Structure 1
Amino acid sequence: MFWKGRNLYILLAFILLAMFASSVLTLTIVGPFSFAEQGSGVSGSKPGASGFTQQELKKLSTTYELIQSQYLHEVDRTKLIDGAISGMLGSLNDPYTTYMDQKEAEQFNDMLNSSFQGIGAEVSLEEGRVKVVSPIKGSPAERAGIRTNDIILSVNGEKLDGLSLTEAVMKIRGAKGSQAKLQVMRGGAEPIEIVVVRDDIPIETVHSEMLDGGVGKIEVREFVQNTAKAFKEQLKALEDQGMKGLVIDVRGDPGGMLQAVVEMLEHFVPSGKPIVQVEDRTGKREQTVSKGSSKPYPIVVLINNGSASASEIMAGALKEAAGAKLVGEKTYGKGTVQVTYQQELGDGSNIKMTVMKWLTPNGNWIHQKGIEPDIAVEQPAYFKASPMSKKTTLKADSLGDDVKNLQLMLEGLGLSPGRTDGYFNDKTAQAVKTFQSRNGLPVTGEVDTKTAQSIEDAITKQIRDPKNDLQLKTAVDTVKKAIQ
């Protein structure tokens, strides 16, 4: 969640889809913010909080003078000041609290005010490493196989260790058509290389369709400025078609603006019931209460570990205040609120700082815990297969993660490889030959770059086919049972 300065300007956080920074895991709240003065730490509401003691000032000044006068190399004054601020914020060990110098802040603002291109994945900086929160649905990152919790180690050979989140994001962003060769570590296994071709990032945030049995489905990809309006229009269109039940899909949705999700929830949460609560560091809470009404039909929400922030507010509110069922996997677990301070610094730089937490209608704080589904459903194993590295040709007696992922894909394509433990046996070779024969490739039983790419393309098509989406199928069945 995200307020910009004390005036609560609406921040279009989704623009960082080009390569989301952690701030995109944020929500924008529009309206009075009574916690701002007492909770920001800027106004000095507590004794001693308004500035440094004389001893503290002397210590800082002495350190600065020693560096300027004694350090081996001459140091830029601005660099020292920026480093001091970054050091203070870094000591908080909060991945959502960061400093942007003038250049970084300018680049950030440029992304907010222009069209953008990139790979389309949201990241945060955790323990000094760039971690993927969620690839955006339909983005180049998703198509290339980037997943939630992937650690991005380098981009086009440039390591990301030691960089600020903004610096790392700028390395990953790039012009449409250019390649980002990402070295990715997944689940502690050996790093793999995933090549993502940068592109325009899709900005359509709501997609709806009518499924069999009068079940409507609305997919929400992000919560941004126009999402609530599009959601309202598409919800009405489904209702006008005689919809009997609704599935809302927020899988892989990294969040966005709180105002958007509140407006959307007011279609379902009865008037007077809380939608979300926020709490400052003193424990004082404020509620956002619905002014809307409930619906007469059953609702199911699809969630997974890429559902974060605003998605979790939607899931939590629909479950606790509207009686909806949650289907899928546990959500990401992002329950804090950030404010950006730019005017206060006065030189074009800014600080984004965590200032409060948000809670569900019943007062549950889901931070680092997520929200559990009512009906847990995992996708087939091949949904989680990683792209093969394509560094070497896979053949009889090959071992390793590449072979294991190959076998998972072959199994998903209905070609029995005999095993999925990462050993390339005769049955795996026969499955490869069958695939090659069906797809006009040289029938060798070995997996070179061309065969590997063809297998990956085939499994991607399989994953995108709704008929293979077990979570969606369960959600639809759950709605149909409730209709009956």
Structure 2
Amino acid sequence: MKMKNSYLVILLFLAMVFGAILTYAGIEILAEDEVKQDDTAKEPIVTTDEEKKALLEATLGKNEFSKIQQAYTIIQENYLEDVDQQQLIEGAIQGMLNSLDDPHSVYMDLETVEQFNDSIESSFEGIGAEVNMEEGVVTIVAPIKGSPAEEAGLKPKDQILSVDGESLEGLDLYEAVAKIRGEKGSVVDLEIRRPGVSETMIVEVVRDDIPLETIYSSTKTVDGKKTGVIQITSFSQDTAADFNKALQELEADNIEGLIIDVRGNPGGLFTSVEEILENFIPEDQPYVLIEQKNGEKIRYFSGTKEKKDYPIAVLTNNGSASASEILAAAMKEAGYDVIGEQSYGKGTVQKTIPMNDGSNIKITIYKWLTPSGEWIDEKGVAPTVEAKQPDFFYTTPINVEEPLKYNMAEDQISNAQIMLQGIGYKTGRTDGYFSKETEEAVKAFQQENGLTVTGEIDKLTAEKLQQQVLEAARDEENDLQMKKALEILY
């Protein structure tokens, strides 16, 4: 390779890096004041290789960027096979971000940016789960309400190890997501490792269109009191406006209390949760603290004069993350009850910054703290009232290679026993030993569901059992967390 080309690529690389820095600085400065550009500033004119080399040495020799140029040259001149220049540049950017050891700071190439924008704007095709990279493993934050991921029984904290038998090890988050997503109607087999379960499992998911409707409202009347319920499944561009509209309609319907449900909500836009909190947090109390790089803390206040004149509670679980936790923490410290389980534990704010060629860097720019100054990262927000769902809510899909039958003992049998008991069949035990009583419970289940009565759990029986468990989990009668919220609200 000629030296001319190597210098050109390094110049392009530096232009991309400095372009990103200037873009970021411009966004921050323009929020406060007008930036004027000096049109008289001129670039130095260089024409020969020697002049370019001298300019580079004058620029790069004073700092560590010269190592990048040296590494690039070594690879191009010595590596066994040809290497694409763009691949090296993007690899260098990705390497810098990987060195931050922050799963939320990532590089998105042009293809990834397109996929990212599609998922934000209206709908996309895939399994419907928010994922994150934790300790190098793709981890589910939460399945989206009504999505194929939820239908298949995927849970927060599930780790995705492989897709259709192909390991995700070594891939970045967006490379892994590209393999998980796919056309509507196509089937993907995900190898899942679930915390507390000794064996991995294969979960079959049928991809579908994933709409981004984020607000669901309803009313519940208990003991003559009408309670409004607003479920927020994520915080997107229209979420705050849709929430405010739903709240106005519920108040016009004369509700006497309100439950805000952010269970399984993986977060989203910070501005959306800000606008929602404006309804409930009085003006003399901050609803969040933002800690900047220099340690300075900025308090954010609402313009609300006083609280609503009806009681309010918030529902959370371990799939409530990021913006959901900002809402839960603010409401908790303002004196409202938070009911359910400890939240996910994501206490940082990211910003997506475009680069000159249309690619993006999503990078962590702030910590967010609760109004009292607590950082909940990797800890979560503790509920004021703990409430768990029935045990069968936490079961896993059953992988059947060989039928499970009498006198066997393993974790999957324990899982099946908890499922059967949850939908009304008496197994006598849940310790994983396939007893005679468990066999009779399986026979009764098969009889009532038109299956061949064998007393063994084969693939068809396991699929039918999983289907009924999911239906039972959607039954409001089994939602113990919602029942607890309604119980303590008044």
TM-score of the superposed pair, with normalisation by structure 2? 0.85
C-alpha distance 153-5 of structure 1, shift in aligned 2 (>3 A): farther
In structure 2, what is the equivalent of residue 296 of structure 1?
309
- Residue 437 of structure 2 is matched in structure 1 by 427
1:166 alignment partner, SS class = helix
Q: Report 1 or 2 for greater relative contact order, CA contacts < 8 Å, sequence distance ≥ 6.
A: 1
Residue segments in structure 1 that go unaligned for 5+ positions in a row: 10-28, 35-50
Q: CA deviation at 1:62?
A: 2.2
- Following TM superposition, by how much is the alpha carbon of 1:5 offset from its aligned partner in structure 2, in angstroms? 5.8
SS at match of 1:64: helix
The answer to whether the 8 Å contact 1:106/1:348 transfers is no
Where do residues 215-364 of structure 1 align in structure 2 (5 Å cutoff)? Answer: 215-292=227-304, 293-321=306-334, 323-342=335-354, 345-364=355-374
Secondary structure of 1:116's match? strand
Identity %: 48
* Partner-residue secondary structure (3-state), 1:214: strand
1:152–1:185: 8 Å Cα contact kept in structure 2?
A: yes
Residue 55 of structure 2 aligns with which residue?
A: none
1:195 paired with 2:207, answer: no
Give the structure 2 partner of residue 162 of structure 1. 170
Question: Equivalents in 2 of 1:80, 1:476: separation in Å?
Answer: 57
**Aligned-partner SS, 1:402:** helix
Alignment of structure 1 residues 439-454 onto 2, 5 Å: 439-454=449-464
Q: Separation in 2 of the partners of 1:306 and 1:362?
A: 23
Inter-CA distance 382–52: structure 2 relative to 1 (3 Å threshold) = farther
* Structure 1 residue corresponding to 2:193, chosen from 146, 166, 185: 185
* Aligned partners of 1:177 and 1:197 also within 8 Å: yes
Residue aligned with 1:368, SS: coil
Instruction: Tell me which of 396, 399, 414 is aligned to 2:409.
Output: 399
Offset at residue 8 of structure 1 (A): 9.7
Change (3 A) 1:233 1:112: closer
Instruction: Give the residue type in structure 1 aligned to 2:279.
Output: H
Instruction: Choose 1 or 2 for highest CA Rg.
Output: 2
1:116 and 2:124 equivalent? yes
TM-superposed CA distance for 1:60, in Å, is 2.5
Moved more, 394-403 or 110-119: 110-119
Query: Residue 247 of structure 1: SS of its match in structure 2?
Result: strand
Q: Return the alpha-carbon distance in structure 1 between the equivalents of residues 71 and 123 of structure 2.
A: 43
After superposition, the C-alpha distances for 1:268-301 in whole angstroms (9 at most, x for unaligned) are 1113432222111111122221012410111110
Which residue of 2 is the match for residue 22 of structure 1? none
Q: State yes or no: 1:372 paired with 2:372.
A: no
CA distance in 2, matches of 1:264, 1:117: 29
1:25-104 alignment, distance < 5 Å: 32=31, 54=62, 56-104=64-112
Question: Which residue of structure 2 lines up, in the alignment, with residue 141 of structure 1?
Answer: 149
Q: Is the 8 A contact 1:215 1:479 kept in 2?
A: no
Backbone CA RMSD of aligned residues: 2.1
Q: How far apart are residue 422 of structure 1 and its match?
A: 1.6
CA contact (8 A) 2:443 2:453 kept: yes
Equivalent of 2:394, from 379, 384, 400?
A: 384
Q: How far does residue 451 in structure 1 lie from its aligned partner after superposition?
A: 1.3
TM-score, normalised with respect to structure 1: 0.86
Distance 2:265 2:26 in 1: 24
Q: For 1:66, what is the secondary structure of its paired residue?
A: helix
Do the aligned partners of 1:5 and 1:339 also contact (CA within 8 Å) in 2?
no
C-alpha displacement of 1:7: 8.7
* One-letter identity of the residue aligned with 2:389: Q
For residues 382-438 of structure 1, what are the alpha-carbon distances to aligned partners after superposition, in whole Å with 9 as ceiling and x for unaligned?
111101012221111233222121111011012121221222111110110111122
* Structure 1 letter corresponding to 2:123: S
Q: What secondary structure, in the 3-state scheme, does the structure 2 residue paired with 1:417 have?
A: coil
Q: Structure 2 counterpart of 1:199, which letter?
A: D
- The offset of 1:59, in angstroms, is 2.7
Alignment-mate amino acid for residue 138 of structure 1: G
Q: What SS does structure 1 have at the residue aligned with 2:64?
A: helix
Q: Give the distance between the partners of 1:8 and 1:303, measured in 2 at CA.
A: 38
Partners of 1:7 and 1:116 in 2: CA distance: 32
Please say which of residues 232-241 and 432-441 is displaced more in the overlay: 232-241
